[in-house]
Amino acid sequence: MNILDRFKLDGKRAVVTGGSGLYGRQIVKSLAMAGAEVYTASRNLEANEAYAAELRAEGLNVYAGQLDQGDEASINAFLESLTKEDKTVDILINNSVLRCMKKGMKDDPERFDESMHVNATGLFMISRAFAEHMAENGGGSIVNIGSYMGVLGPNDTLYRDAGMNMPAPDYFFHKGGMVNFTRYCASYYGPKNVRCNVLNLGGFFNNQPEEFLKHYNDKTFLKRMANDTDIMGAIVFLASDASAYITGASIPVDGGYSAK
């Protein structure tokens, strides 16, 4: 056996929620480059199709889909559309996130409820639907896209000199819950060969203010934010048979930010 063959995803089918976003784009591309048939899905079908068409033009096997993570019927309908004719989904990347709290701790409780319905209840609904499908079909891999903000508290010094506000409290709440929910799914579905892991990502460079970049970069060991290829390897590793004995893991991909 050539160990590099374990990283290949030939013949696998993957779903990436929020696949046309900042991190989602490299997640989708990495899975497709490794050989998977990839579907990028969210409420924004137009954005998904635009990115899928771009990658198909590069010779990659990528398609668009539409689902509302806050609507169980929508999730089930999307899964059913992919699994007709005895086809299976082998990989689910839970990357979608709804950022609806704009006023931080001063926001209306209804905005927190809205966030939890999609980011917490929605995560539960989509994970259960796809994990049950995988369990019935011999196994699979679920990768949740978390954040260092799910394992660390906010550092206000990053933002105050840059004229920026700290991320809203709902983000810390649901990303923290994602870590232990991942462990629960790993335990519950492990006997049926469904693995579940979480990647806790660091910040993505997106032309942030200079003062923020200075403070943030200094907090990392690598002295920079993530770029548009930095999580590709970790995604393919956890999606593939190369990580066949890894489940329930919470893995930082943050340039050393959370290790300080």
The span from the CA of 197 to the CA of 183, in Å, is 7
Mean pLDDT of the chain: 96
| In the block, residue with structure tokens 């290829």 | 229
Token pair of 249, please?
A: 């893991």
CATH code of the domain containing 222 = 3.40.50.720
How do residues 154-164 score in pLDDT, each as one tens digit? 999 999 888 89
Domain count, the chain: 1
Task: Specify the range with the lowest mean pLDDT, choosing from 30-34, 97-101, 233-237, 251-255.
Answer: 97-101
Q: What is the mean pLDDT of residues 137-165?
A: 94
Task: Please give the pLDDT value at position 85.
Answer: 80
- Would the pTM count as exceeding 0.85? yes
The span from the CA of 217 to the CA of 121, in Å, is 34
Q: Which of 241, 3, 9, 41 is nearest to 139 (CA)?
A: 241
The span from the CA of 95 to the CA of 80, in Å, is 20
Task: Please give the pLDDT value at position 23.
Answer: 93
Say if CB 81 and CB 41 are below 8 A apart: no
Structural domain harbouring 8: 3-259
